[in-house]
Amino acid sequence: MSASPFDHPLLSALLGDPEIAAFFSVEAELKEMLAFEAALAEAEAAEGMIPSSAATAIAAALESFRPDLADIAAGTARDGLPVPALVRQIKAKLGEADAKHFHFGTTSQDLIDTGLALRLRGVAHVLDERLVAVIERLDALSAKHGKLALMGRTRMQRARPITVAEKIAHWREPLARHRERLVELAPRLFLLQLGGAVGNRAEFGPRGEAVAERVAKALRLHNPVAARHAERDGVAEFAGWLSLIAGSLGKLGADVALMAQNEIAEVKVAGTGGSSAMPEKQNPIAAEILVTLARFNAALLSGMHDALVHENERSGAAWTLEMMLLPQMCIATGAALTHGARLIERIAFSPES
């Protein structure tokens, strides 16, 4: 039995998203952290900070590295992070001469934050593709039913007639704007984190900027002028983007659920859910789940804003809170986009009587 609905053996079929969840697996996290370490060693060798032979040995060790996850878990419980135990394991694979050059100048947060940026880039790509799919389905729905008349309603009361096309436009246009927002957000989110102990790259001396440029180029990340260990606005902005997507889809779901009521019957939704007590019922499950996921992300967003409050140069408390919340928001948004696309394909409008 799982404590999380996203990987619950039953609820995950309704609320989960295995494709998005995979970006938050231990395998995905370790893969990107090791990619950072490999790029760092290569950059430091290119700038003459460590021997080229050490960078070669580090690359080989990382390529063949197989983590002892039980040891890393124990280390995480002790140190609050997986990195110290991970670094010890990798150094044990290197000879003494090369081990002293591994992880040189960097710190745990550099690994974790850079790895997160790489994984969020993958998450954002998947979500953007799904946004395109939802928009395309809405366009097809509008082309099929757009000229039909509906009753416009304001404050839950009948107002003036509108068309189906007008209704769908209110669902579609925010989603299109969310795609634009992602482009604007990318330079503030997909960032290299390389600051060292207190974020000022002091351990690298005058070569800090050159090393950072090389690592950023290798990982295809933006290179900020300074590390943002305690500046979490980019991650919080991304959480806001996730909540906006879920919220826009929640509005679609709420509209469909209301329009599908027996007394209104402006839409019919194929393949709806049944009732154990009333087999004649057709419950708008997908529409309801869109509302649920919108409210879930809205609730978690406040926690992401709480996580903006980092004490001094790094906060274990705020950072851990962020780690707890953001994966759930990503999975909820992915599930909302999947449910939204399926719901749109099952909608048929009934003309205004």
Q: Are 74 and 85 in contact, with CB atoms under 8 Å apart?
A: yes
List alpha helices for 16-107, DSSP H: 18-21, 26-46, 52-64, 69-79, 83-93, 96-99
Q: Quick check: is 207 catalytic? A: no
Pairing of strands 149-154, 157-163: antiparallel
The catalytic position among 130, 201, 214, 314 is 314
> Which contiguous run of DSSP H or E holds residue 161?
strand 157-163
Burial of 159 per CB tally in 10 Å (0-12, 13-18, 19+): exposed
Cβ neighbours, 10 Å, residue 13: 8
Q: Are 45 and 55 in contact, with CB atoms under 8 Å apart?
A: yes
The catalytic position among 25, 275, 302, 342 is 275
C-alpha span between 123 and 28 (Å, rounded): 12
Q: Which two tokens stand for residue 103?
A: 């992880």
Q: Quick check: is 314 catalytic? A: yes
* Residue tagged 């580090």 (tokens): 58
Hey, which residues are catalytic here? Answer: 275, 314
